[in-house]
Amino acid sequence: MSLGFYRRDDGRRRISNRQIDFLGWIFFTVSAASFIIASIGHFWAMTGSIFFLIGCVVFIIPFFRKEGG
């Protein structure tokens, strides 16, 4: 399944649920990177931010794997 737009029967473009999910995870990843930058110098905040970023990346992986395998 691609992340591209597809057209309805009436010609309008429609965004798929997969695209919305992917966009949401991109925003979460940017948020995690921002938390890392904001927490420079604070060990526990930095540790939590790094784990948050790793979690976001793990959830993005399925978007780049091939289907059916």
Number of alpha carbons in the 13 Å side-chain half-sphere of residue 6: 9
CB 55 within 8 A of CB 36: no
Every domain of the chain and the residues it spans: 6-64
- The two tokens of residue 69 are 């395998």
pLDDT of residue 36: 95
- The two tokens of residue 30 are 């940017």
pLDDT of residue 2: 59
- The two tokens of residue 9 are 């029967």
Alpha helices (H) along 1-69:
17-38, 43-60
Amino acid at 32: A
Write down the pTM of the prediction: 0.73
Q: Tell me the pLDDT tens digit for each residue of 1-46.
A: 456 666 777 877 788 888 999 999 999 999 999 999 999 999 999 9
